[in-house]
Structure 1
Amino acid sequence: MKYKNAKNILPEELVTEIQKYIQGDIIYVPIQGKKISWGEKSGSKETLHARNTRIFDLYTLGYDIKEIQDMFNLSESSIRKIISNIKKSQLCLGGITNE
């Protein structure tokens, strides 16, 4: 993403209006019409999903948090958060039952 000076590309009236809300800071203007969420274009989102699913699968197979932590070089709290989030999402989808 390249920095551009608003006064060099926008009409003076628009710059004056924007200055009512923000001055001297950098703001991001999203691309109009495109609804691409973080990581979709680069594949990062899919990679993280696969990793997190693997972490959850190992946990359900009986691996303890410390073993998983060492495998993925993540903190204990990160592993617990991933497991918790997947449990919650599966509960919402009806994938886990309390039998």
Structure 2
Amino acid sequence: MNYKNGRDVLPPRLFKELQKYIPGELIYIPKRTDQKSSWGELSGTRKLLADRNEEIYRLFSNGWTITDLEHKYHLSGESIRKIIVKTR
């Protein structure tokens, strides 16, 4: 999340009105509900994890052991098993 100075982004009248209620404090203004994205969509994390999980499944299918995958991806055996079952 990026912080913006209200003086730089708000109309002067609105800025002065907000100063009456929260002078010198931080305020969080959430996105409108029609603008929400799913987790990881904007940053690309969702796709990176999906690609990683596909690779884990492919390597497992090609004979890699759970232990091999644990070391390569720094995940627990249980996490690797969940990925494999979910990806099938």
For Structure 1 versus Structure 2, the TM-score category normalised by the shorter chain is 0.5 to 0.7
Q: Percent identity?
A: 38
The alpha carbon displacement at 1:52 in A equals: 0.5
Which residue is 2:64 aligned to?
Answer: 63
In 1, Cα distance between equivalents of 2:67 and 2:47: 25
Question: How many residues matched?
Answer: 66
In 1, Cα distance between equivalents of 2:31 and 2:82: 30
- Secondary structure in structure 1 of the residue aligned to 2:56: helix
Higher relative contact order (CA 8 A, sep 6+): 2
The alpha carbon displacement at 1:36 in A equals: 1.0
| AA aligned opposite 2:60 | Y
Structural RMSD (CA): 2.4
TM-score by length of 2: 0.64
Q: Once the two structures are superposed, what CA deviation does each residue of 1:45-81 show, in whole Å capped at 9, x if it has no partner? A: 0100110010000001011100011100100000001
In 2, Cα distance between equivalents of 1:42 and 1:29: 17
The alpha carbon displacement at 1:31 in A equals: 2.6
In 2, Cα distance between equivalents of 1:29 and 1:85: 33
Moved over 3 A (4+): none
Which residue is 2:85 aligned to?
Answer: 84
TM-score by length of 1: 0.57
Unaligned 5+ residue runs, structure 1? 3-7, 10-27, 88-99
The alpha carbon displacement at 1:84 in A equals: 0.8
In 2, Cα distance between equivalents of 1:67 and 1:46: 23
In 2, Cα distance between equivalents of 1:52 and 1:71: 12
Which residue is 2:8 aligned to?
Answer: none
